């Protein structure tokens, strides 16, 4: 067994490219794509994914949530624009400007401090306005007063308004009424800015659900998040709208096999009792790896192309499955936690639903004890070791 036998996340970079092209074909030809690779690329590995798509002419750049995420990209040679979607602490302003990372601006005070920081370091600050059209999170409200303040910011020294964006709250629902109202509000804000003599080059509002179903929201750029990784924003989004391929599969191996008589309790609390003489396999993965406890007594894994149900509670580092009906299971056999084995498949959506989470959360919390192993065209090309001693 190789060094990744305990558990590893296999990342298919060819699937990343496939999904990028599927999204590109579904939007206006002149609309650019911003790849949302916050949270370490939704747990898939931000840097390798950014490097894989950096050469595409329709990739405008990347979106991150924090300065630290943006700096990791810059420090690993990523050249295209990086937008920080969230809050930035004032003591990070100079670092952001020097790295040519774009902040999201939503207060005059923030803009004035960025302007001063830009003058100090001698580099202009390229920024995007954040507009709140219904998410009620961060961003300017769609009012004349807000437009006045934004126009004032546009005149500050060393401040270059590169973009303006909003975020959809309900685009992944069947009913698109609220989303269309958000689009109208966003267009109104853009018009108010133009009335004040502020022309903004990059206007963007569409997220993954918008890319799939709302062409009128394309504008200059769209932000591709969950669909980049071959996953769906929700079950209400038309899954025929895009030809997506899941990027991640999660693999491990059988650590132990034992025979138990009927009436034996398994795992903490004895929540599972064998109803027959049973063959039980131990899997060396647990909630410390992000394989959450909510899958206790509900989830299953694939061994030899067949489903093996989870028995009892998922522990911190291990859990047990019933392999009574799967012949010849032995220590070292491959176990699929997420992905395909023969005709059977376990999707991220399935484990997300069964665990009481959802697919976004499940991939984002996969632990750093799990190496990410990257493949292109079926060939292993790299791995990301979070606990490598070298």
The per-residue pLDDT for 2 is 54
If phi > 0 it is left, if psi is from -120 to 50 it is alpha, else beta; for residue 5 that is alpha
The per-residue pLDDT for 358 is 87
Fold of 248-384: Lyase, Ornithine Decarboxylase; Chain A, domain 1 (2.40.37)
The per-residue pLDDT for 357 is 86
* Gap between the Cα atoms of 207 and 166, Å rounded: 10
- Angle at which helix 177-195 crosses helix 144-154, to 10 degrees, equals 50
Confidence band of 388 (pLDDT split at 50, 70, 90):
low
Name the pairing type of β-strands 221-224 and 32-36: parallel
Residue 131 is classified by DSSP as B
Residue 264: count of CB within 10 angstroms of its CB: 16
* Gap between the Cα atoms of 383 and 390, Å rounded: 13
Q: Which residues are documented as binding site?
A: 137, 316
38 flagged as catalytic: yes
Tokens of 83: 């937008």
Beta strands in 41-86, from DSSP E residues, in sequence order: 59-64, 82-84
Residue 330: count of CB within 10 angstroms of its CB: 9
Q: Which residues are documented as binding site for substrate?
A: 137, 316
Q: CB within 8 A of 238, min separation 6: which ones?
A: 212, 213
Mean pLDDT, the chain, integer: 96
Confidence band of 385 (pLDDT split at 50, 70, 90):
confident
The per-residue pLDDT for 3 is 56
* Gap between the Cα atoms of 20 and 151, Å rounded: 35
- Which has more pLDDT, 386 or 311? 311
pLDDT higher than 60, residue 1: no
Q: Which of 174, 256, 268, 386 is catalytic?
A: 268
Q: Where are the domains of the chain?
A: 31-229, 248-384
pLDDT higher than 70, residue 390: no
pTM above 0.85, yes or no: yes
Q: Which of 38, 185, 203, 251 is catalytic?
A: 38
Confidence band of 386 (pLDDT split at 50, 70, 90):
confident
The per-residue pLDDT for 268 is 97
Instruction: Return the CATH number of the domain spanning residue range 31-229.
Output: 3.20.20.10
């Amino acid at each position: 067994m190789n060094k990744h036998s305990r558990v590893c996340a296999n990342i298919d970079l060819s699937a990343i490219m496939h999904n990028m092209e599927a999204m590109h074909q579904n939007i206006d030809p002149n609309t650019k794509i911003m790849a949302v690779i916050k949270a370490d690329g939704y747990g898939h590995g931000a840097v390798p994914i950014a490097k894989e798509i950096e050469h595409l002419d329709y990739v405008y750049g990347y979106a991150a949530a924090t300065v630290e995420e943006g700096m990791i990209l810059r420090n690993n040679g990523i050249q295209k624009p990086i937008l920080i979607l969230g809050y930035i602490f004032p003591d990070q302003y100079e670092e952001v400007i020097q790295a040519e990372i774009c902040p999201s601006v939503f207060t005059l005070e923030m803009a004035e401090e960025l302007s001063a920081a830009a003058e100090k370091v001698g580099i202009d600050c390229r920024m995007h306005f954040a507009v709140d059209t219904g998410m009620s999170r961060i961003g300017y409200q769609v009012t004349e007063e807000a437009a006045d303040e934004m126009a004032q910011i546009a005149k500050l020294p060393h401040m270059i308004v590169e973009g303006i964006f909003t975020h959809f709250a309900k685009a992944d629902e069947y009913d698109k009424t609220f989303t269309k109202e958000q689009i109208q509000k966003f267009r109104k804000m853009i018009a108010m800015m133009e009335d004040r003599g502020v022309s903004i080059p990059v206007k963007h509002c569409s997220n993954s659900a918008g890319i799939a179903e709302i062409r009128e929201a394309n504008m200059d750029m769209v932000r591709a998040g969950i669909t980049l990784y071959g996953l769906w924003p929700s079950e209400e989004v038309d899954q025929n709208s895009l030809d997506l391929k899941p990027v991640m599969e999660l693999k491990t191996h059988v650590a132990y096999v034992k025979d138990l008589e009927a009436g034996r309790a398994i795992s903490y609390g004895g929540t599972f009792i064998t109803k027959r003489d049973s063959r039980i396999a131990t899997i060396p993965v647990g909630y410390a790896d992000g394989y959450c406890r909510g899958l206790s007594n509900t989830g299953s894994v694939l061994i030899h192309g067949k489903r093996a149900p989870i028995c009892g509670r998922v522990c911190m580092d291990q859990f047990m499955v019933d392999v009574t009906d799967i012949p010849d299971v032995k220590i070292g056999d491959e176990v699929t936690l997420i992905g395909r084995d023969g005709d059977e498949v376990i999707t991220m959506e399935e484990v997300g639903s069964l665990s009481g989470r959802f697919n976004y959360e499940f991939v984002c919390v996969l632990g750093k004890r799990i190496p990410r192993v990257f493949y292109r065209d079926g060939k292993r090309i790299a791995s990301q070791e979070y606990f490598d001693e070298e």
